[in-house]
Homo-oligomer: A and B are copies of this chain.
Amino acid sequence: MSVAEPLQNLSSATCAGPRMTQAGQPLTREVEVLDEYGQRRSIHIPDERPLTVFVDKRELVTLMTLGAAPELLVLGYLRNQRLIDDLSQVESITVDWDVHAAAVRTVGGIEAFEAKTARRVVTTGCGQGTVFGDLQAQVDAIRLPPPDKAGIRQSTLHGMLEVMRQQDSIHRKAGSVHGCALFRGTELLVFVEDVGRHNALDTIAGWMWMHGVDGADKTFYTTGRLTSEMVMKAAQMGVPIVVSRNGVTQMGHALASRLGMTLFGRAANRHFLCYTGFERFDSEPEPQRSPVRVVAG
């Protein structure tokens, strides 16, 4: 995890939130490989590990994570799975890598825990059991700022992509991870990488809660695909604009259209496609692709 300030400071900055360990782990490991010339050499690979989450001593789920900020991951996971509605419901999150466990203590327990965790949906490519049964209710509950209050200009989008291009990353060093970032304008607030794009996004959700950060004037960036669950999670965090280096799937597209969100995909360097929510986007028309050439004579 990379943030403007070190994560430790950010974690401890808010006194109102739950007590948390700070059990961040080394994110890569060196291994020896054989290349196409038959030569041995060393490379770095992402070092993911299982983390079993217990809520009030009941086993909930095992997440595979790099472990950059496991407490924020767990917090964001509980938030994005809608198991908790408010930060005040969590008393403490204790991560112990000796037993690969995160113990969550809530204030007064989670209502209807069994019912909320009963259904299982294997989601696109990267599944964290999103409860799809109440999709309509979820969609109805989401309020995003209108386009005239939360838009994005092409120059801002370019600025963000340039920040991401220059960002040092595990992906560059070791590959095989996804990154998610939260921007205010072209200012990078937080950048998280993990083996799954959901973990990275959940960690950002946890970070936002811990720091009382609202999503309305923010933009999400992700290296992963814009599937319906990614779109839904961003919307639930109140973020109306999402940018991906990757593409979109039909359900992600349909959900974003329904929610009035703006999605950009294939976004890298100075290229991108705006998939939905054109009305939030000020394209500040760039020079024409085929400029009119005035031929003398």
Contacts and interface: CB of A to CB of B under 8 A. Distances in A.
Interface string A245-282: 01111110100000000000010001111110010010
Interface in A13-63: 29, 31, 33-39, 43, 45-50, 59, 61-63
How big is the A interface, by class?
A: 35 or more
A109 interface: no
8 contacts: A35-B274, A36-B270, A46-B250, A50-B132, A63-B122, A64-B122, A122-B129, A175-B266
Contacts of A286: 36-38
A34 B176 contact: no
A275 B31 contact: yes
A120 interface: yes
A208 interface: no
A152 interface: no
Given A36-B154, A271-B36, A281-B34, A125 B178 contact: yes
A121 interface: yes
Given A34-B281, A283-B38, A127 B126 contact: yes
A195 B246 CA distance: 13
Given A227-B64, A248-B176, A251-B64, A48 B124 contact: yes
A174 interface: yes
A22 to B, nearest CB: 22
Given A45-B249, A227-B195, A273-B43, A278 B122 contact: no
A185 to B, nearest CB: 19
A241 B83 CA distance: 41
A269 B235 CA distance: 40
Given A45-B248, A247-B176, A121 B197 contact: no
